[in-house]
Structure 1
Amino acid sequence: MKILVPVKRVVDYNVKIRVKPDGSGVELTNIKMSMNPFDEIAVEEALRLKEAGKASEVIAVSVGPAKTDETIRTALAMGADRGIWVKTDEAGIEPLTIAKILKKLVEEEAPGLVILGKQAIDDDCNQTGQMLSALLGWPQATFASKVVVGEGTVDVTREIDGGLQTVSLDLPAVLTTDLRLNEPRYASLPNIMKAKKKPIAEKTPAEWGIDLTPRLVVLSTTEPTSRTAGKKVTSVAELVGDLKQSGVL
């Protein structure tokens, strides 16, 4: 069984985001980029399934402009077998378009599982996995915190409000990963060197006739409002009085 793992290149989670002066988006010039953390979890889970003998090949896929292949190389250094880079002129392709591209790749590669991060930390859309499932007509399980692959089925434990829910899906299926699923491995230096020799196939959306024109228009991007300074109180009575005055109590 093949496992397809889409990975996205995003601003590193340790970087403080800065909005462009004109409010048109986030500043990306000379900014450290890395793999989306939820996608790292997806790659790790695919690798664990392969190591357990449940999968024969792990394929990392990414869509984006120049340097997107660096993210694919990271997945290859973790242990993925090969990569596919769908080259575009711009980043920030909308989730529905990404899902359409992934559908075409699924039709070509015929994987038994597609494992995605539940969302990307740049746009927080949490849509691609669900859209891909709908386009393929495959069962889906989102927010997976445990994955057990059986004979033609996969049992997925999901985190929901108030507890956990376990669902059983027929393969092939689409899964999205939550934070508690696993702890991604670090790529060792030897594996980083080996990853440079692993193949990355290059494709374009035009090969499948997919239109990248966005359907949404971002009107403006603004930074969060700065927190106001706190106030020290000298007694409980003063604290209660301030809370009542502010409407908290």
Structure 2
Amino acid sequence: MATPGSLGAVASARGSAFRLIGVVFSNTINDVVRLSGPGAHGITFRDVAAVVRPCANRNEQPSEAAFLDHHTLVAGLSRGYTILPAPPLTTFRTAASALQWLELHAVALSDGLAYVDGRAGARVTAIRDIAGATSDPSVLPPSAAAIESFRVLRRYATATVPVSSGTVGDGTTIATEAFLVERASWERFAAEVTAEDVRSPGLVLRLTGPWPVYDFVRLQF
């Protein structure tokens, strides 16, 4: 069924396709829809619900504004609700096709929501600190120190995903890793990042987040 109202109410936006914002627990859909702005709807199947908004058509060209709008909305929702974020501009031709997708993937979506419930994404980037470099042979070189620091930080996360490795940009970035962190333990994780940063001369660790769990979600279509 669709919320608020019926699936027919969603389908009444004739000529519209539907942009997927993300998937939430069905018992939160009414609140999430209200926070998702004008035109937002919820399409519910059992304990999962898709948050959608009407859009002109499936062939709309991506724009920076559309990407920013999507990410801003998902980030806002994730601060108060568990959400599996959709890739930007994911579109269903009809409300019925969105419902069919929910039905097909309901078990996996429910399991995914349960897995990320109460958790947030963090990213930690290891950067060479040229000014803090030392010739002390007892100090690990920056690349090895980054590997060791990431190993330590994994103890305080539910899951990790490497995001990038190797020098990029100005040549000082060593690697970036994503961490799935319990929201209740965020301050402890941040403190551990700081401790690792202090412990490693020649290396700077930068923490960003909490983020929506993009790095740990791969929706199937």
TM-score with structure 2 setting the length: 0.27
The structure in which a higher percent of residues are helix is 2
TM-score with structure 1 setting the length: 0.25
